[in-house]
Amino acid sequence: MASKETREKILSQLEYYLGENNLRTDKFLRKHVEEGGWVDLQLLLSFPKMQRLSSSMEVAIEAINTVTAGGSSGSTYVKVSEDKKKVKSAATEKVWSKDLPLQGGGGGG
């Protein structure tokens, strides 16, 4: 089991990647948003910042399910698919897709 601090950092980073401000401008990540707003968790875990924390899907899901930045149990911002292979933002009704216009420069992982 990862430390609470590591789980908090993982969750914070996932929330950043799936956040509206990031998805509004991140051309690379937007290319990988699937129908319904889902993003492959393994893709996010391959990003350098995530690699420094953990590349384990189990640890990432543990982080999503057991801690939020405020310390409460379970993330209210990141939703995990039933097969536990994809994640999406649960905080916004907006479903991101490749077709929505980008704003700004657009980065990546």
Report pTM: 0.78
At residue 95, the pLDDT reads 59
Q: What is the pLDDT of residues 34-60, one digit of tens each?
A: 888 899 999 999 999 999 999 899 999
Q: How many CA atoms are closer than 13 Å to the CA of 106, on its beta-carbon side? A: 11
Neighbour-count burial of 104, counting CB atoms closer than 10 A to its CB (0-12 exposed, 13-18 middle, 19+ buried): exposed
Residue keyed to tokens 């640890």: 59
CATH number of the domain that residue 15 is part of: 1.10.10.10
Share of the chain above pLDDT 90, in %: 40
Domain boundaries, position 74: 4-89
pLDDT at 92 over 70: no
- Is 94 part of any domain? no
Compute the 3-state secondary structure of the chain and give helix, strand, coil in percent, each to the nearest 5.
45, 10, 45
- Is 50 part of any domain? yes
- Is 31 part of any domain? yes
- Is 26 part of any domain? yes
Residue count of the chain: 109
At residue 76, the pLDDT reads 75
Mean residue pLDDT across the chain: 82
